[in-house]
């Protein structure tokens, strides 16, 4: 089970416990009714019956609480145990109604309150079955009362109460069904919104990627390079330098003209891959334009910068590209420079560019270091 699953499960368990505790208020009301009717001599049963009702109530609720706290309820098909809790509460209420005499009429509404606990959990069918069960329990009173009490209530009154309860529960069922529909619609709307939110997030990510990277090579684009390089320049501490290299593929026009633009694109993509694989994660590599690339290595001196560029140059010069003849080798030239704290980026790029021209003039497939790097 993932951490998210565990968190969700814990959240639902908390909700179930909250609902259970709320139901205890209902029980409390029935205990208060039993005790007060008994105190006022209105309770038609014995003390033992009154006590047994309260004890059964405490006992059954203790079992539910234990199941919830020990997470054993999670093993059930319905971990909320809604039907079981409704059945127990309905039976206990019926047991109480036998003995509360005149209060019976008003206390029948508690059946509806018990059913309300199932409004979000029970299916429409289960809700109707639970309502039917409540009616059957109350109906059984009409049959059993003459056997249980010496002075049973008049049958006509009992039948009328049963009929009123049936009407009331039918209304509650309809109302709960309406609430459930409303909730389902809200849930659907919420789900749709969530899907839209995910899509938007994805699109934002794509837009960001489009705005910051070069579509062909996947490297950073020129604008993002400037932003990030400027930021890194401000982080340079006195005495430290960053290495800057402008890299240009040699005779690239020839590749395009002879073997086609598609092959040229593949060479550009391969260069990006080779260069990225030859560098560390935090080295900044960007496509500067056309077949020109720019590299910034944080905390590098001339030697380190030279080593990095040489690594790329040699690997690139040894690579065979699909679409080019077997013995055709592409090469690159590079101009190197160093950046120190307080330096102007565009000025250093211009110097690296000049060094690149020098490398081209020196026969290509090599790198040159700007004199300014030694200053
Ligand atoms: N396939 C492809 N070619 C590109 C792309 N961007 C620029 N180019 C080509 O790169 C070539 C650059 O040519 P030049 O600037 O003459 O340079 P070069 O042929 O590499 O010569 P030197 O730099 O002097 O070695 C041009 O033909 C551009 O069309 C691209 O995205 N894909």
Q: Could you tell me the distance, in angstroms and rounded to a whole number, from the CA of residue 121 to the centre of ligand 1?
A: 68
Distances from the Cα of 142 to the Cα of 53, 121, 129, 152, 156, angstroms = 20, 31, 20, 9, 10
Pocket of ligand 1 contains residue 360 by CB under 6 Å:
yes
Q: How confident is the model at residue 1 (pLDDT cuts 50, 70, 90)?
A: low
295 secondary structure, DSSP code: E
Q: Is 255 in the pocket of ligand 1 (CB under 6 A)?
A: no
Which strand ranges, in their side-by-side order, compose the sheet holding 284-289? Answer: 284-289, 292-297, 242-249, 332-339, 367-369
Please tell me the predicted confidence (pLDDT) of residue 165: 93
Give distance in angstroms: CA of 347 to centre of ligand 1.
24
Query: pLDDT tens digits for 44-89?
Result: 888 898 999 999 999 999 999 999 999 999 999 989 999 999 999 9
For the ranges 17-26, 146-155, 168-177, 242-251, which has the lowest average pLDDT? 146-155
16 lines ligand 1 (CB under 6 A): no
In what helix (H) or strand (E) does residue 83 lie, and over which residues does it extend?
helix 82-99
Catalytic residues: 291
361: Cβ below 6 Å to ligand 1? no
Q: What is the pLDDT of residues 78-136, one digit of tens each?
A: 899 999 999 999 999 999 998 888 888 888 989 999 998 888 888 888 999 999 999 99
Atom 25, ligand 1: which residue's CA is nearest? 250
Pocket test for ligand 1, best of 264, 324, 333 (most atoms within 8 A of CB): 264
Q: Taking all residues of the chain, what is their mean pLDDT, rounded to a whole number?
A: 92
Pocket test for ligand 1, best of 213, 253, 263, 368 (most atoms within 8 A of CB): 253
Placement of tokens 């996947």 in the chain: 218
Q: pLDDT tens, 12-46? A: 999 999 999 999 998 998 899 899 999 988 888 88
Asked if residue 331 lies in contact with residue 365, where contact means CB atoms within 8 angstroms, the answer is: yes
State the pLDDT confidence band at 155, using cuts at 50, 70 and 90.
Answer: confident
* Interaxial angle between packed helices 222-235 and 345-361, expressed in degrees from 0 to 180 and rounded to the nearest 10: 120
Query: What is the residue with the minimal CA distance to atom 15 of ligand 1?
Result: 253
d(Cα 162, Cα 160) in Å, to the nearest integer? 5
Q: 268 alpha carbon to ligand 1 midpoint, in Å?
A: 10
**Contact assessment for residue 255 and residue 271, using Cβ atoms and an 8 Å cutoff:** no
Cα 365 from Cα 368, distance rounded (Å) = 10
Is pLDDT at 275 greater than 80 in this prediction?
Answer: yes
Answer whether 264 contacts ligand 1 (Cβ < 6 A): yes
**What mean pLDDT is predicted for residues 330-350?**
94
197 confidence band (pLDDT: 50, 70, 90): very high
Ligand 1 center to residue 255 CA distance, Å?
8
* Residue 163 pLDDT level (bands cut at 50, 70, 90): very high
Compute the distance between CA of residue 283 and CA of residue 299 in angstroms, rounded to an integer. 10
User: What separation in Å is there between the alpha carbon of 74 and the centre of ligand 1?
Assistant: 66
pLDDT digits (tens, 9 = 90+) for 236-252: 998 899 999 999 999 99
Structure confidence at residue 151 (pLDDT): 79
Ligand 1 within 6 A of 289 CB?
no
Q: Is the model's pLDDT at 351 over the cut of 80? A: yes
> How many whole angstroms separate alpha carbon 198 and alpha carbon 208?
15
Q: What pLDDT does residue 189 have? A: 96
- Using a 10 angstrom Cβ sphere, with 0-12 exposed, 13-18 middle and 19 or more buried, the burial of residue 81 is buried
Q: What confidence tier does 6 reach under pLDDT thresholds 50, 70, 90?
A: confident
Q: Kind of pairing, strands 332-339 and 367-369?
A: parallel
List, as own/partner pairs, every contact residues 127-130 make where C-beta atoms lie below 8 angstroms and the sequence separation is at least 24, other chains included: 127/173, 127/176, 127/177, 128/173, 130/83, 130/86, 130/87, 130/90
Of residues 92, 79, 102, the one with CA closest to residue 30:
92
Q: What is the pLDDT of residue 62?
A: 96
- At 281-320, the pLDDT tens digits run 999 999 999 999 999 999 999 999 999 999 999 999 999 9
**Which tokens go with 77?**
């098909």
180 or 258, higher pLDDT:
258
Residue 374: is its pLDDT beyond 70?
Answer: no
Distance 299 CA to ligand 1 centre (A): 31
User: Which of 256, 322, 324, 353 for a ligand 1 pocket mutation test, highest count of atoms within 8 Å of Cβ?
Assistant: 256
Ligand 1 contacts CB of residue 353 (under 6 A):
no
For ligand 1, atom 5, name the residue with the nearest CA: 290
Can you give the residue ranges of every domain in the chain? 3-196, 222-374
Tell me, using a 6 A CB cutoff, whether residue 290 lines ligand 1.
Answer: yes
Task: Return the closest-CA partner of residue 63 out of 77, 48, 81.
Answer: 81
- Report yes or no: 256 and 312 within 8 Å, Cβ to Cβ: no
Ligand 1 touching residue 265 (CB < 6 A): yes
Whether residue 372 is predicted with pLDDT greater than 80 in this model: the reply is no
Q: Note the pTM of the prediction, 2 decimals.
A: 0.61
State whether the Cα torsion 73-76-78-82 is positive or negative. Answer: negative
Q: Is pLDDT at 5 greater than 80 in this prediction?
A: no
Do 65 and 27 contact (CB within 8 A), yes or no? no
pLDDT given for residue 153 in this prediction: 81
Query: Can you tell me which atom of ligand 1 is nearest the CA of 265?
Result: 1
Q: What is the CATH number of domain 222-374?
A: 3.30.70.270
């Amino acid at each position: 089970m993932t951490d998210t699953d565990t968190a969700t499960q814990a959240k639902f368990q908390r909700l179930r416990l909250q609902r259970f505790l709320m139901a205890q208020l209902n029980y409390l009301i029935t205990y208060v009714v039993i005790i007060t009717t008994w105190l006022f001599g209105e309770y038609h049963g014995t003390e033992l019956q009154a006590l047994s009702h309260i004890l059964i109530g405490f006992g059954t609720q203790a079992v539910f609480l234990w199941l919830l706290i020990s997470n054993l309820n999670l093993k059930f098909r319905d971990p909320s145990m809604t039907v079981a809790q409704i059945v127990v509460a309905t039976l206990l209420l019926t047991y109480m109604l036998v003995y509360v005499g005149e209060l019976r009429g008003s206390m029948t509404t508690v059946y509806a309150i018990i059913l309300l606990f199932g409004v979000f959990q029970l299916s429409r069918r289960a809700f109707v079955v639970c309502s039917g069960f409540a009616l059957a329990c109350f109906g059984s009173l009409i049959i059993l009362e003459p056997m249980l009490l010496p002075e049973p209530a008049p049958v006509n009154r009992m039948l009328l109460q049963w009929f009123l309860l049936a009407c009331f529960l039918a209304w509650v069922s309809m109302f709960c069904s309406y609430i459930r529909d409303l909730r389902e619609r809200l849930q659907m709307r919420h789900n749709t919104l969530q899907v839209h939110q995910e899509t938007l997030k994805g699109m934002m990510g794509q837009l960001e990627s489009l705005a910051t990277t070069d579509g062909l090579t996947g490297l950073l684009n020129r604008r993002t390079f400037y932003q990030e390089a400027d930021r890194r320049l401000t982080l340079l501490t006195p005495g430290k330098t960053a290495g800057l290299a402008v890299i240009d593929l040699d005779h690239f026009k020839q590749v395009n003209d002879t073997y086609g633009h598609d092959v040229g694109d593949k060479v550009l993509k391969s260069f990006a891959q080779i260069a990225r694989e030859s560098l560390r994660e935090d080295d900044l590599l960007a496509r500067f334009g056309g077949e020109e690339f720019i590299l910034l290595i944080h905390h590098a001196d001339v030697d380190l910068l030279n080593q990095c560029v040489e690594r790329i140059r040699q690997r690139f010069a040894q690579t065979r590209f699909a679409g080019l003849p077997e013995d055709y080798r592409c090469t690159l030239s590079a101009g190197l420079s160093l950046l120190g704290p307080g330096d102007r980026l565009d000025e250093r790029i211009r110097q690296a560019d000049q060094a690149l021209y020098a490398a081209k003039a020196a026969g290509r497939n090599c790198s040159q270091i700007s004199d300014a790097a030694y200053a």
